[in-house]
Chains A and B, each alone.
Chain A
Amino acid sequence: MAKSILIIDDSASMRQVVAMTLNNAGYDTVEACDGEDALGKLDGRKFHLMICDVNMPRLDGLGFVRAVKDNPQYKFTPIVMLTTEAGDDKKAQGQAVGARAWVVKPFQPPQLLAAVAKLALP
Chain B
Amino acid sequence: MLQINPSSDGHRLQIAGEMTIYHAAELREALLAHVPASGSLALDLSAVDEIDSSGVQLLLAFERSARVCGAGLHLAAPSDAVAAALCELGLGAQFAIPCQE
**Touch test A–B (CB under 8 Å):** yes
Residues of A within 8 A of B (CB): 73, 76
Q: List the A side residues contacting B4 at CB < 8 Å.
A: none
Instruction: Give the complex CA separation of A76 and B26 in angstroms.
Output: 14
Instruction: Give the complex CA separation of A73 and B1 in angstroms.
Output: 11
Q: List the B side residues contacting A73 at CB < 8 Å.
A: 22
Instruction: Give the complex CA separation of A104 and B21 in angstroms.
Output: 27
Which chain A residue lies CB-closest to B23?
A76
Q: Which of B19-46 contact A (CB under 8 A)?
A: 20-22
Which chain B residue lies CB-closest to A72?
B22
Instruction: Give the complex CA separation of A100 and B20 in angstroms.
Output: 19
Instruction: Give the complex CA separation of A76 and B23 in angstroms.
Output: 10
Instruction: Give the complex CA separation of A73 and B22 in angstroms.
Output: 7
Q: List the B side residues contacting A76 at CB < 8 Å.
A: 20-22
Instruction: Give the complex CA separation of A61 and B22 in angstroms.
Output: 22
Shortest CB-to-CB span from A112 to chain B, Å, is 22
| A interface footprint on B61-72 (CB within 8 Å = 1, 0 otherwise) | 000000000000
Instruction: Give the complex CA separation of A73 and B20 in angstroms.
Output: 12
Instruction: Give the complex CA separation of A114 and B63 in angstroms.
Output: 35
Instruction: Give the complex CA separation of A27 and B73 in angstroms.
Output: 37
Q: Which of B80-95 contact A (CB under 8 A)?
A: none
Shortest CB-to-CB span from A78 to chain B, Å, is 10
